[in-house]
Amino acid sequence: MSLRACDSIKPIIWKDEQLYLLDQRILPQEQAYIAFNNVQAVAQAITDMVVRGAPAIGITAAYGIVIAARKRFDERADSWKTAIEEDLSLLAQSRPTAVNLFWAIELMRAAIKDMDVSDPAGALLTIARQVHEDDIAANVKMGQFGADLIKEPCAVLTHCNAGALATGGYGTALGVIRHAFAEHKVKLVYADETRPWLQGARLTAWEMVQEDIPVSLLVEGAAAHMIKTSQTTDNPIRWIIVGSDRIAANGDVANKIGTYALAVMAKYHGVQFMVVAPTSTIDMNISSGDQIPIEERSDSEVLACSGQPVAAPGALARNPAFDVTPAVLVDAIVTEKGVVLKPGLEKMKALMTNVD
C-alpha cells in the first residue's frame, strides 16, 4: 500500500500492550490520545464518542476484548471464558446502531470459544490486529470501486464523517472521495456540518484540508439549495456519498441523522446516491431497516452547542443519532466485495454469498 497523506490519521493505535484512542471530541483544535487499560473505560469511550464511526467502533471493541481477556485470564485461568462474557455484554451495550460493533464482538466470542492456548490475550490480539488491517485494505478497495462509478469531473456532497477517523484508516465515503480526487473526478467536496457533534465541520473538513482536497462546509439546511443551484455551475453536485452504520438485508441503510433527507433531495434533483461500507456493516439477520435500533442520545447535545447552552430554557429536544434511508433511494452500495446497483434482497444475498 502506498504512503498516503491520510495514513498519518490514526484514530486507533495498539502500542506497548495498550490501546490508544485519538480523542475525537476535541479535534481539530487539539490532537490528544487517551490510553486504555480496562474494558469498562473502553466501553465508556465508545458511548462518549471518544471514538466513533461504525468500523472504528468495531475495531476498538476487538482491542477492548484483548484487554478484558488479559485481566480475566490473569485472575482465573480456569474460568476466564465464562467471566469475559460480562465484558462482551458491556461492550455490546455501548452503542446500539452500528452493527460492526456486534460483528466484532461475535468474531472474538467465536475465537474465545475454540481457544485452548496459554496466552489467550496474545492470540486475540492477533485477531484484533487482523480486523484493523482488513478494514483499511477494504477501504482502499472500496475507494477504487466507488471512484469508478463517477464518470465525469464534478462536486460531491458528504455527511457526517466517514473518513480515516471513522474507520481503521483511509475511510469509506472519504476513501472514494480521496480516490476520485486523485483521478481528477472530484473537484470540490461539500460537507454537511452535522449537528449536534459537528463531525462534518470538525472531522471531515480536517481530513480534507490536510490533503488539499477543496472542502466547503454547509449547514444541513443549505443542502437542498446547493444541490439545486449547483447544477447550472461549473461544479454541479452529481453524487451524494455517505457511509453507513448498518445495512439491512433488503438494502435499507442506517446512517447519521440527516442522511435520509439527503437521499430524498437527491432523488428529486436527479443526483446519484452512493453508500460506501464494508460487508461487516451488512446485517443479513434483519430483513428491513425498520428493525434497525436507532440510538437516541441525550437532549443536552441539542440544547447546547459545544457545551454552551443555546436553546430557550425549558425547551424540549429530541436527538435521534441515525435515520434509515430506504433502499429504493440508493443508487449504489459499494463494498470491498463489489458494488450493488439499485440494491434489493436478491442482490444483497448474492453479494454476501460471493466468496473472495
Task: Write out the binding residues for ligand MRU, residues 250-279 only, by CB under 6 A.
Answer: 255-256
Residue of 60, 204, 230, 244 that binds ligand MRU (CB under 6 A): 244
Q: Any idea what DSSP says for residue 272?
A: E
Which of 245, 252, 323, 331 does the annotation list as catalytic?
245
Tell me, residue by residue from 298 to 327, as one string, x for binding to ligand MRU by CB under 6 A and - for no binding. Answer: -----------------------x------
Strands lying side by side in the sheet with 154-158: 215-218, 186-192, 154-158, 237-242, 272-276, 332-335, 338-341
Q: Which is nearer to ligand MRU, 31 or 79 (CB)?
A: 31
- Based on the shown chain and the rule CB under 6 A, indicate whether residue 243 belongs to the binding site for ligand MRU: yes
Supply φ then ψ for residue 25, to 5 degrees. -75, -25
Residues in a beta bridge with 253: 247, 325
Environment class of 244 (CB within 10 Å of its CB; exposed 0-12, middle 13-18, buried 19+): buried
- Based on the shown chain and the rule CB under 6 A, indicate whether residue 330 belongs to the binding site for ligand MRU: no
Environment class of 72 (CB within 10 Å of its CB; exposed 0-12, middle 13-18, buried 19+): buried
- Based on the shown chain and the rule CB under 6 A, indicate whether residue 348 belongs to the binding site for ligand MRU: no
Alpha-carbon Rg of the chain, whole angstroms? 20
User: Counting every residue, how long is the chain?
Assistant: 356
Three cell numbers, residue 234: 461549473
Three cell numbers, residue 119: 496466552
Compute how many residues bind ligand MRU; rule: CB under 6 A: 17
Q: How far apart are CB 116 and ligand MRU at their closest, in Å?
A: 35
Task: Write out the binding residues for ligand MRU, residues 94-123 only, by CB under 6 A.
Answer: 98
Q: Which is nearer to ligand MRU, 66 or 160 (CB)?
A: 160
Q: How far apart are CB 32 and ligand MRU at their closest, in Å?
A: 18
Q: How far apart are CB 43 and ligand MRU at their closest, in Å?
A: 15
DSSP symbols for 204-255 = IHHHHHHTT--EEEE-GGGHHHHHHHHTTSSS-EEEEEE--SEEETT--EEE
Tell me, residue by residue from 187 to 216, as one string, x for binding to ligand MRU by CB under 6 A and - for no binding. Answer: ------------x-----------------
Consecutive H or E run containing 174: helix 173-182
Chain centroid to Cα 286, Å, comes to: 19
Q: Which is nearer to ligand MRU, 256 or 337 (CB)?
A: 256
Is 356 designated active site? no
Question: Nearest residue by C-beta to ligand MRU?
Answer: 243
CA distance 273 to 169: 23
Chain centroid to Cα 246, Å, comes to: 9
Task: Write out the binding residues for ligand MRU, residues 37-56 only, by CB under 6 A.
Answer: 52-55
Residue of 131, 166, 223, 332 that binds ligand MRU (CB under 6 A): 166
Residue of 162, 164, 205, 227 that binds ligand MRU (CB under 6 A): 162
Stretch of residues binding ligand MRU (CB under 6 A), selected from 205-213, 243-251, 304-312, 343-351 = 243-251
Catalytic residues, which ones?
245
Contacts with ligand MRU, residue ranges (CB under 6 A): 52-55, 98, 160, 162, 166-167, 172, 199, 243-245, 255-256, 321
